[in-house]
Structures are given as structure tokens and as C-alpha cells.
Structure 1
């Protein structure tokens, strides 16, 4: 222990160099245990809400029921998959958050004893896999919550063993330059790792106040790097799934600061951060499917505990319109797979669900590094039209070559879809380097990641330019048209002299996708495609009929006057590409002569609008003009 104390002191002095230590030195001492997220006595507010509201009673019951199941499970073992221990760290966080909540709310010793057993098993791991530091961060957070919340009933020896593990396998490894690259990046790693280590530092504050202060100050300084990417409007750089990761841990960090020190040090006022909840709300379509661009899963959206924090912080219940829909489900058991679920009870019970109303607008646009527009006909009609339109750049963290891509649904069917991410280990285990960002990187050879399978344009069978960028140049509602327009020329530099795309909902009845392209000094073969789960029947009048789940959609090409609509397979052509069962591409190719301009306009007509004859035919420059 003497050696450890000397080592700690030496490293603390080293760490202090180059840090803004003034704030750290001025940090007040945090409260006694429990000090993370939910202070002593605050259980009463939750218990009061449980007694008064059937929704919170059901959520509380689901957490306790899952905790009863966890009690019967053997402790987690250190089994690494590829280069990751992350699934074990996440399961540890899920178990310890659930068990600790269950004990605090019921005082049932079974939950505390099982949590103690879990922590001692994890403390015995050789390490928490610092070479993939997310693993350490989530494991440290798991152990910190368990240690802090169960502190009164842990045996002295268990406290010592668990605290030593948090220190040596968590906090200390974050001081090692070979592991702490997260401090210098502006993606979810920064948010998750700073949050996890700070939870550990807070949990062990009294053991080494100076170390804890320095680690917390380091986080307060460096977490601003990813937070800058929320500016100006809250659009999250890495898309839906990683919002659920990075933003949730950012919120956990801010909430922990507020509880421990009575302030968030201005973090919530970083430009765009409080606006990001609105972005997330619009990212779920009426079908329940998310707008899953970039590395996002392709399944249904999910309940996000962080949304309850945003609603509470901003005192805006309308942010919970989508979450309220989830809470109206009869079965909450699926929610318990979320490792952060107990946070819903911490942040949610002060939100009056009876006052949750739909958002005021049916269109939302966010600029930034990966700008998006989402629009819909209605917030209350489950069969309404929904469109998500993405611009940005393939060079964004977790980016795809999907600039100009879109999703579209009506009648409860996602007609134009995105395959989303492929499991990382399925690619890395075959030796692929999927994290390269250069134009020739192996990442772009993966079917799901390049533009050939996204709902955008491909020119002469070439990839979009990684360095290219596009923004939303115009968006809004004008008369009967909800719309967004983007200049995509930057991602087709050298392939086209210019490219603009506009997408709109016309009269809340149908969707128009209009491309205005110009060939350079050589002819340009432009391919227009849409990925769909539907069966496709091609007609001879520039139309195709799409059918799925008993619903119908007509795809009509209005310009050029004559094209050959066709389909393409999405089946894998390599041993590493994932199967894309139940999908195909529908679209057409058109050769634009050298130096000439051409409009490509496609209408997506739900069954109720399929007979529409008079349709929008307006140059993009006039969209939005009365």
C-alpha cells in the first residue's frame, strides 16, 4: 500500500502538469455515500411517484423483476471477444445498476449481497482490457455505482478490494498515455471514457481527494471536445445509435457533477447541447424504426433514459412524445436489457407524462458536420409519411458514403431504408481494417458502407469522395411543401460538374425526390437507387409498384421522360459482407451527355395518392419561394 500511495502521488503531480487545476482545487467535497446521481433520501421522491403513477409503478416493478433474475445468475467471467471485453463491461453495468437500485429502493439484502459478489468477481479479473478503453470505462462506472450505492452494507474487506480494483484497473490506467487517447478525440469515446473514469473518481473521492479532483477536472476540460460537435442545432455527428451511447454518457457525467457539486460547470450551456434532444425525438419514424444512417442498427428505436434528463432540465415535456409511446407498451421486460434503465426513475419521475404533447413542428433541420432534415405529415397518425434526409460527409466518425441518402415511410412501412452498420467483429475477425478514413481504405469496400447501396446517387460506378462535404442549403415549409435542399457537388468532385438534391413532402400526400445534375467534360452515367424491403413490379410507364405487408407504394419517374426502371440484388459478393436478406435496390441509370444538365425527379406515392396526376415540377431554386 505504501508503494501504491507513492505511485499515486507521483502520477497526480504528473497529471497536474498542463491541466487547469484551478477549478479542481476549488471543487467542494462531495456528499457522503451515496453521491452518484441519487443522493441519500432522494429515494422518497421516486417512491412517491411509484405510489401515484401506474407507469412508474410498472417501470419500478420491471427493474425489480429483472434484479430477481440477476440474483440467480453466476457472476460475469472475463471472456474477451476479439479485441473487446465490452459486452462483459456492459453487462456488469446493467447488473450493478439494477441491483443497486433494487437494494436502495427495497433494502432487501439479497440485492446487495449479489451486487457485492459481482463486484468481487470483477475485481479479480487480471485487467479490464485497457487496450480497448471503452471496456475499462464502462466497467469502472459499473463498479463505481455498485460501490457507492451499496457502500453502507459492503464488508470492510470488500470495500478495500473493490476500491483497489477501481483504482488500479480503472483510474490509474487512464493516466497511461498508451491508453488515454480518448482525451484527445471528439467522438463518443471521449464522452464514455471521461464519464466512466469520473464516476470512479467520485466513488473513491475520500480515498485520494487530489487524484479525484484532477481526474474530474481533466474530464470537465476534455469532454468539451465532443460537445462542440452539437453546435449549432444539436444534430449528433455519429447518428442514432451513437447518440444513445455518447450523449447518454455525457448526460450521466453532467448529472453526476450536478449532484456531487451542485453545478454542471456550464456544460449544459455548450452551444447545441440542449437542442440535441429535439434532434433525437425526430429521428424515430411513425413505424418505430429509427433514421439509422452511419453506424446505426437497423431495428426498432428504443427508450432513451437521457431523454428524461433533457425534459427535466429544460422543463419541456414535449421532448418525451416518442418516449411516452414506449411507456404505453404493456410489457416493459425488454427495457431491462438497457444497462442505464434505472436512470429513467432518477430523471423521469418529475416529468408529468400527462402533460406530454406532440412537438409543435413537423419538420426539423440540424446543421453541423453531418446535417440532417426530418419531416412528417403528422405526429399522431401511425400511417403518416415520414422522411429523413442526410447530407454531411463520409469522413465523419462512424460515417458511411451516404451523403444525400434518405429514408421514407408511409402506411406504417419503411419503403426506403438503410441497412445501417455491420457487426464490427464480423469484419475485424476476417482481418479487415474498418477504421481507415482515406479514399482507398478497406472500409469502403464493405457493401453496407459505400454509396452503391445507399439511397443516393452513384456516378460512373465510383465511390463518393471521403473529403467531400454537403450541408442543408435550404429547408422549411412553403405552402403545401415541406422540403430540404442540399448541394452535393463536393462529394462528386471530378465526377460531376454539379449536383443538387431536394426532398419534400407535397400536400402531406406524397414524396418528391429531385436531383439536378450537370456532367463535366465527359458523359456521366448516373445511377439513382432506393433500398427497399418491398416486392417490386416494374411497369412500362416509368413506374414501379412496391408491395409490402399488404401495403402499396408507387415509384414514378417524372423526369427523364423515359427510363428503364430495374432492380439490383443486395446479396453479399464477398466472404465478409453481411447478408441483406429481404431487401433489394430499385431505380434506374441515365447517361448525362458531357457538359449538359439533367433533372432526375422521382415521386413516391402511397396508395391513397397513387392516382395523383398533377404533381410538383418545380426547379430546386424555386423551392420555398411563394
Structure 2
């Protein structure tokens, strides 16, 4: 087999620039009052849906199994909403809980109304609008809440256009202007210029609100859209160059769903997306999300990411399918699951019928078994051939801790084999549980409280630790080599994360066979290097044996073999209960440690080589189970 090598010189690693430091690509931005007045669609709906899309969808619901089943799920969720109380002001910590519920309810009820024109649904939409618009404010101190309210109110006004009582329409529209677009009490809307998901979420909602009030407030509308399109590249640039979303899979879903909604709204209202889809790395991010899902259905859950995805078809990937015709993005089997087996629908899942109804399969792609991407948080993924039966999956990463939702996890990995996730990431720890006791979760300097948590520091990840010290928050681990040959491998340069604790360090992952993974750490010591600890996070039962360990879970067995070229000691540290009361509690959590000590002398070459496999080979007999 011909090999493909993609290599970056190790010496050049330190000069890799964060994407935001480079010149930003821009979106097309012709927005003036005149442009809005001349180009805005005069028809309703014009947010995501158009009259033609609605007409086509009504037909598809009758004849297309996927559209029919999704709409049945939407109707089922709408019926559940009708049984629930009208929304009321509800704060949880610093967040307005009402906000997310409002955008979800309007998505579901609004789509049902577009299809059925049911007066019962219209009345409930009106009641919800009056309730949320009567709230004194939409919590501008946490502007994501303003965004959720604004999106929900905007689509409700658009999808019911002309059918609400005039007094309700005027009352709601005034609230959208004053509590949404002018939430800060200023003449201009707030445009978020951060580089994280807030940018896409908040600015997309402001665009929705601006389109909804364009006839009544043309100057505010044009200014809002113009300024939002100017700010959005600050977040979109982080999809580049290869589609890896730096905040992880869950936040890819959150941020990208809002970008998809924004694109769909701009296309339905103005007939074009102004360069969103072709923004560097954006369309490639669909592959990133595909590879973030392991054979078990679990996610490569680094950063603040949940470990299991919803059982429903992915509505965001379906949008990419509608754009490309590529069936690999269209999860037909999941969309066809019986309604009573589907998860509760989210904000985007109902409006997704607008693009799902337009999907036409054009190509079927066979995905490679290795994928990687550069960026602010580079990753690589190894998978199995779909017919080999082992369910082999490795997700590994570089990056640094001081990044939005980042952890001290450079060099970490999750590992699945034969249907079992042997190597885990602790993933998301609920924010409010920490914030309500005054824990400072969001500061990210070297001595920040965040790094005391097991789920955030390097001692809660499958990494190499040096001298029992925390990683350097600014140290960046670069992906320097990808080889997709007979034995695929990737190499990360992890030197910087140790902050001078070593002179040089790399971590190599090699898929040695269909059911075998090698993790190799090569270290050149500095004059302060004293102890190296190889860590593996797991919830499996563990027996320490001569030369390694035997792991057991769900009637499967994994053999961990220490192939290092020096003396090491192996032990298991129970983390159930975890070190701190505030730490995430995970049943059966433990850390396997393989440790070697060295003389504090620069220039020594240390090699730690560990194999994970379902083949025992010459691994020794067992000691008592831990």
C-alpha cells in the first residue's frame, strides 16, 4: 500500500500561529438600508422556510418516509408542549432557563403551524409570546439568553405572519426590538465579537431578529446584519484549516447548528449565504463530527463534551447532506426510528425539515479509517474497516489547556475495542453545580481554580505527566506527522505542555493491527526531569500482572502490555470517590499508572511504549483484582 506522509518539522512547532492571529477571511457584506429594502424577500415565511419549501414539505410528509416520521416526532413533541404550563421567568444561577425552552418550543410549534395552520397551535404560540415578552428583560448579563429568546420570538413572528392579533404582533415585535436587539438600552444591537461559540449563537439570533423587524426598523436591521457579518469570521476562522472544532463535538453541535440556522435564514430571506458555507474549514467540519462518533455511539468527548450522542438523526449533518448530496452525512436509519424511541427534539430538529425535505442523494462515500485535522486543538482518529468486526476506535488530540472549554489533556485519547470503551475521557462536568458554590470555573491562568478539578487537570486524563506537575496552560502540543500506511500512525510534539520539565517530548499512536494500539512516549530529559508517569483512565475492572495489566468489562478482555525499554512500576489508583468533593463522580473510575524515575540530568533518552490489545501473548499471570 502506498503511504502518504504529512509532516511538520518539530523545530517549527513553536511558530504555529493561532488562526485568529492570521489575517481573517471575511464574509461578503453588502448590507445597507437600501440593500435590505431592495433584496429582502417580501413573502413569509422567510426565516429558514419559504412558501415554496413549505409547499414541497407538505407533499413530502405524505410520501417520504423520513419526512413523515420526523414530522410525526415533531407533532408528538408539540402535543407534549401543549400539556405543559406556559413559560415563566426562571433563573438557574446566572442563566435564564426560560430562554432555551422558548426557542425550542417555537421551533416545534411553529413548524406544526406552518404545516397544519392549527388554531390551537396558534393560540399556544400567542400565549407563549405574551408570557416571555412580558418578562422585564431577557437577562442581558448572560447574552446567550437574549439570543435564545430573540431567535424564538423571531421565528414565531415570521412563521405566523399575519395570523396573530395585531395587538399581540405589535407587543411582541416591540419586545424583540427593545429586549432583544436593544437589550443594552442602546440604539445599536449588541454584536458579540468573541472567538468562541457565543459569537455564532448570539450574532445568528441578532440576524434573525433583524430580519423579523426589517420593515419596521430598516436602519437597525441593516446595521445589525452588517455588523454581525463583520464579526462572525472571528469565530468561523477556528474551523480552519481542516474542520476541527476546538471546543469539542458537543460545542460543534451548538455553534454549528446556529451557523446552519443563520445560513438558512440568509438564503431564505436574501437568496444567498454571503460566503458562510465556503468559509475555510466550515464544510470540512462535517467530517470532524462524523469521526467524533465512535462505533459504540459514544463521542470523542474531550473538552466540555457529553460522552453519548442523542439517538436521533443528526439534523446538522443532514444540512451538509442537503448541500452536498453525500449520503454519509444523512443518518436515514436514525431518522426512521419509531417516534417513541427518539430523544426529545432540540431547537434545530423541527426546522431541519426545511433542508431534509430538499435532500437528494448524489454520492455515497467510503470513509478512510484514519482522519486528522490541524487547528487550535488538533485531533486524529483511527477507526476500523466496517467489515472487520473489532469496532476499533481511537480519538487522540494535541492542543493546549488555555482555550475555550479547554482542559489539560494534550496527548490524551479515548479507546474502544470490541464494543467496549476501555479508555475514557471524563468529559462534561455540569457548570451550575460548581458555580452555585462560588467555584471559579472560567479563569484559565496557570494557578486558576479550574485546574484543581480532576476532569480539567492532566491527572484526570490518559496522558504522560512529568514530576507530578500540572501542564503548562499555554503549552501547545502540535500534530506533526500523519501516516496512513499499513500501520497507520500519528505523532504529537508535546514538549511545550511540560513547561521545561523535559527538553523534548513526543507521543506516537500506532494502529499496529486490527485490534492493537501502541502508545509511545519519547522523552529527552532536562536537568529537572525526575519522574514520568504514563496514565490510563478507565472504568474497567483491572488486574495487575507481570508486564502490565488485564482489564475486563462487559464480558470482554483487554491486555495492557508495558513494552518500555527501562524499569517501570505499575499501579492502579481508585478515583471513586474522587479526590475532591466537587470533582465529577464516575462509578468505578480509576487511573492506571506506569511510572519510571530518572536522574535529574539533561539529555537522557527515555522511551515508554505501551500496547493495548485483545491478544494476551506473553503477558504474565494475575495478582488480586483492583
TM-score (norm 2): 0.90
Aligned twin of 2:564: 559
Instruction: Please tell me whether residue 478 in structure 1 is matched to residue 481 in structure 2.
Output: no
Task: Give secondary structure in 2 for the equivalent of 1:513.
Answer: strand
Q: 2:550 touches 2:559 (CA, 8 Å); kept in 1? A: yes
Task: Provide the C-alpha distance between the structure 1 equivalents of 2:365 and 2:415, rounded to a whole number of angstroms.
Answer: 20
Task: Provide the C-alpha distance between the structure 1 equivalents of 2:434 and 2:453, rounded to a whole number of angstroms.
Answer: 9
Task: Provide the C-alpha distance between the structure 2 equivalents of 1:423 and 1:319, rounded to a whole number of angstroms.
Answer: 30
Task: Give secondary structure in 2 for the equivalent of 1:498.
Answer: strand
- Tell me the alpha carbon deviations over residues 201-222 of structure 1, each in whole angstroms, 9 at most, x when there is no partner: 1111111111111111111111
Q: 1:569-580 counterparts in 2 under 5 A? A: 569-570=574-575, 571-580=577-586
Aligned twin of 1:280: 289
Q: 1:194-593 counterparts in 2 under 5 A? A: 194-300=203-309, 303-320=313-330, 323-331=331-339, 334-352=342-360, 357=364, 359-379=366-386, 383-479=390-486, 481-540=487-546, 542-560=547-565, 562-570=567-575, 571-593=577-599
Shift of 1:406: 0.4
- Tell me the alpha carbon deviations over residues 502-541 of structure 1, each in whole angstroms, 9 at most, x when there is no partner: 112122221111110121113421111111110001112x
Q: 1:284 touches 1:301 (CA, 8 Å); kept in 2? A: no
Task: Provide the C-alpha distance between the structure 2 equivalents of 1:469 and 1:129, rounded to a whole number of angstroms.
Answer: 36
Task: Give secondary structure in 1 for the equivalent of 2:562.
Answer: strand
Q: 1:133 touches 1:179 (CA, 8 Å); kept in 2? A: no
Aligned twin of 2:149: 139
Task: Provide the C-alpha distance between the structure 2 equivalents of 1:51 and 1:307, rounded to a whole number of angstroms.
Answer: 23
How many corresponding residue pairs? Answer: 586
- Tell me the alpha carbon deviations over residues 291-316 of structure 1, each in whole angstroms, 9 at most, x when there is no partner: 00011122335543221111222332
Task: Provide the C-alpha distance between the structure 1 equivalents of 2:66 and 2:52, rounded to a whole number of angstroms.
Answer: 22
Instruction: Please tell me whether residue 40 in structure 1 is matched to residue 51 in structure 2.
Output: yes
How has the CA–CA distance of structure 1 residues 252 and 50 changed in structure 2, closer, same or farther, with 3 Å as cutoff? Answer: same
Shift of 1:490: 0.9
- Tell me the alpha carbon deviations over residues 322-348 of structure 1, each in whole angstroms, 9 at most, x when there is no partner: x34533534465433312111331111
Task: Give secondary structure in 2 for the equivalent of 1:447.
Answer: coil
How has the CA–CA distance of structure 1 residues 336 and 381 changed in structure 2, closer, same or farther, with 3 Å as cutoff? Answer: farther
How has the CA–CA distance of structure 1 residues 332 and 502 changed in structure 2, closer, same or farther, with 3 Å as cutoff? Answer: farther
Task: Provide the C-alpha distance between the structure 2 equivalents of 1:601 and 1:330, rounded to a whole number of angstroms.
Answer: 47
Shift of 1:563: 2.8
1:24 to 22, 32, 39: 32
Task: Provide the C-alpha distance between the structure 2 equivalents of 1:117 and 1:382, rounded to a whole number of angstroms.
Answer: 53
Deviates more, 1:339-348 or 1:417-426: 339-348
Q: 1:358 touches 1:379 (CA, 8 Å); kept in 2? A: no
Q: 2:69 touches 2:335 (CA, 8 Å); kept in 1? A: no
Q: 1:335 touches 1:341 (CA, 8 Å); kept in 2? A: no
Relative contact order (C-alpha < 8 Å, sep 6+): which is higher? 2
How has the CA–CA distance of structure 1 residues 521 and 191 changed in structure 2, closer, same or farther, with 3 Å as cutoff? Answer: same
Task: Give secondary structure in 1 for the equivalent of 2:146.
Answer: helix
Task: Provide the C-alpha distance between the structure 2 equivalents of 1:38 and 1:366, rounded to a whole number of angstroms.
Answer: 34
Task: Provide the C-alpha distance between the structure 2 equivalents of 1:277 and 1:93, rounded to a whole number of angstroms.
Answer: 24
* Residue ranges of structure 1 left out of the alignment (5+ in a row): 1-18, 614-626
Shift of 1:578: 2.4
TM-score (norm 1): 0.90
Deviates more, 1:302-311 or 1:482-491: 302-311
Aligned twin of 1:601: 609
Task: Give secondary structure in 2 for the equivalent of 1:226.
Answer: helix
Aligned twin of 2:183: 173
Shift of 1:402: 0.3
Deviates more, 1:89-98 or 1:342-351: 342-351
Instruction: Please tell me whether residue 161 in structure 1 is matched to residue 166 in structure 2.
Output: no
How has the CA–CA distance of structure 1 residues 384 and 456 changed in structure 2, closer, same or farther, with 3 Å as cutoff? Answer: same
Task: Give secondary structure in 1 for the equivalent of 2:343.
Answer: helix
Task: Give secondary structure in 2 for the equivalent of 1:389.
Answer: strand
Q: 1:546 touches 1:553 (CA, 8 Å); kept in 2? A: yes
Aligned twin of 2:23: none
- Tell me the alpha carbon deviations over residues 590-610 of structure 1, each in whole angstroms, 9 at most, x when there is no partner: 11332311111111102xx33
1:72 to 75, 79, 83: 83
Task: Provide the C-alpha distance between the structure 1 equivalents of 2:550 and 2:448, rounded to a whole number of angstroms.
Answer: 38
How has the CA–CA distance of structure 1 residues 577 and 260 changed in structure 2, closer, same or farther, with 3 Å as cutoff? Answer: same
* Residue ranges of structure 2 left out of the alignment (5+ in a row): 1-26, 620-626
Q: 1:134 touches 1:192 (CA, 8 Å); kept in 2? A: yes
Shift of 1:156: 0.6
Aligned twin of 2:65: 54
Q: 1:63 touches 1:336 (CA, 8 Å); kept in 2? A: no
Shift of 1:553: 0.7
Higher helix proportion (structure 1 or 2): 1
Q: 1:6-21 counterparts in 2 under 5 A? A: none
Q: 2:567 touches 2:596 (CA, 8 Å); kept in 1? A: no
Q: 1:530 touches 1:586 (CA, 8 Å); kept in 2? A: yes
Instruction: Please tell me whether residue 89 in structure 1 is matched to residue 99 in structure 2.
Output: yes
Task: Provide the C-alpha distance between the structure 1 equivalents of 2:595 and 2:104, rounded to a whole number of angstroms.
Answer: 49
Shift of 1:249: 0.4
Task: Provide the C-alpha distance between the structure 1 equivalents of 2:403 and 2:333, rounded to a whole number of angstroms.
Answer: 31
Task: Give secondary structure in 1 for the equivalent of 2:579.
Answer: coil
Q: 1:472 touches 1:487 (CA, 8 Å); kept in 2? A: yes
- Tell me the alpha carbon deviations over residues 482-512 of structure 1, each in whole angstroms, 9 at most, x when there is no partner: 2110110011131111110011212222111
Q: 1:290 touches 1:301 (CA, 8 Å); kept in 2? A: no
- Tell me the alpha carbon deviations over residues 226-263 of structure 1, each in whole angstroms, 9 at most, x when there is no partner: 01111111110111111011111011111111111111
How has the CA–CA distance of structure 1 residues 325 and 236 changed in structure 2, closer, same or farther, with 3 Å as cutoff? Answer: farther
Shift of 1:69: 1.3
Aligned twin of 2:8: none
Task: Give secondary structure in 2 for the equivalent of 1:154.
Answer: coil
Aligned twin of 1:148: 158
Deviates more, 1:311-320 or 1:208-217: 311-320
